[in-house]
Amino acid sequence: MRYLVTGATGFIGSKLVWELLQRGHEVVALVRNPRKSGALRELGAEVRHGDITDRSAVVAAMRDVDGVFHVAARYKIGDRDKQALYRTNVEGTRQVLEAMAELGIPRGVYTSSIAVFSDTKGHIPDESYRHEGPFLNEYERTKWIAHYEVALPMIARGLPLVIVMPGVVYGPGDTSLVHTLLRLYLRGVLLAVPGGVTYSWTYVDDVVEGHISAMERGREGESYILAGPGVSLREVLRVASELTGVPAPKLEVPPRLISMASVLASGLERVVPLPPLLASETLRTIAGTTYLGNSAKAGRELGFSPRELREGLEPTLQYEKSRL
């Protein structure tokens, strides 16, 4: 089969390209930054340059493919450029899905996120749950719009699309807030952990497998949560300490204190730019929040079977340590 992958230089997209090529498929990789395309060419992917917000570039890359993996997204918490998040996550998704419809592409997989649920407040929702706001950060909001106001209406009009909703994705090569926290921990400068923060930790290779299964086996029009085990950040660092010998932080910051700091940061950032880790929306996002999802449906229909935290955390920590 011949597939187009958007976001092919990203954390999930690059590993998806590699796995598809390993399985004998042809891959067209849509790449925004030409300087990042060398590794994809070496793997054997056909590289096309262009931005997903550019309809002509998307259509040109999409011609003659059997399916589309729309993985591209802008994932930055504390990002001051809110318009860039909207352009990529909403308008970019609209351009890709409309191009699919225009060209009559027979199959597509769109990468949404359980972030569209926002803070699940300890609950573990399935695909039937729908959060209606408010949102803690602009990433949640723009992914919600792309999911519910772009993808689902196009599915209702007949677009042959499957939606996958990963949990918090981690693994070697990650560049997210999780990566930053793990590096701070390994350097011994993470003095405290935000209390109550709990994620569905999903190893990147399992997410890639879920994408491919969704393309091959998923029911058109359905959404599938790809979520690993729900584990608190405090427990993650305890396991990390067992694996590395680096002591985990003993202090835990109460969610109420982080919420108060978020309010203060909101006032400060009107006057002076704050680093992403101290931005008000970052603090809101880690104030005792839980990002959880029930992947039972993906298990039944896609064979999705995420690994336990320790199994994925060990190679992740080894990778991060090698790059300190």
Give the 3-state secondary structure of 92-150: HHHHHHHHHHHHCCCCEEEECCHHHHCCCCCCCCCCCCCCCCCCCCHHHHHHHHHHHHH
Residue 299 lies in a domain: yes
Can you give the pTM of this predicted structure?
0.95
pLDDT for residue 13 is more than 90: yes
The Cα–Cα gap between 76 and 275 comes to: 12
> What is the largest distance, in Å, between two alpha-carbon atoms of the chain?
56
Span 185-207, mean pLDDT? 96
Task: Tell me the residue range of the domain where 214 lies.
Answer: 2-169+201-228+292-307
The Cα–Cα gap between 46 and 314 comes to: 33
pLDDT for residue 177 is more than 90: no
The Cα–Cα gap between 136 and 70 comes to: 24
Residue 283 lies in a domain: no
pLDDT for residue 37 is more than 90: no
> What percent of the chain lies above the pLDDT cut of 90?
90
Predicted pLDDT of residue 208 = 98
Residue 91 lies in a domain: yes
pLDDT for residue 124 is more than 90: yes
Residue 266 lies in a domain: no
Domain count across the chain: 1
Span 263-290, mean pLDDT? 92
Sign of CA dihedral 76, 82, 88, 89: positive
Encode pLDDT of 43-71 as tens digits: 999 999 999 999 999 999 999 999 999 99
Predicted pLDDT of residue 93 = 98
pLDDT bin (cut points 50, 70, 90) of residue 129 is very high
Residue 254 lies in a domain: no
pLDDT for residue 81 is more than 90: no
Span 143-169, mean pLDDT? 98
Residue 127 lies in a domain: yes
Span 238-252, mean pLDDT? 96
- What mean pLDDT, rounded, does the chain reach? 96
Predicted pLDDT of residue 139 = 96
Residue with tokens 């010998």: 245
pLDDT bin (cut points 50, 70, 90) of residue 277 is confident
Predicted pLDDT of residue 284 = 95
Predicted pLDDT of residue 82 = 85
Residue 18 lies in a domain: yes
CATH number for position 213: 3.40.50.720
Residue 34 lies in a domain: yes
Smallest CA-to-CA distance from 198 within 294, 287, 316, 313 is with: 287
**244 exposed, middle or buried (CB, 10 Å; 0-12, 13-18, 19+)?**
middle
The Cα–Cα gap between 104 and 71 comes to: 19
> What percent of the chain lies above the pLDDT cut of 70?
100
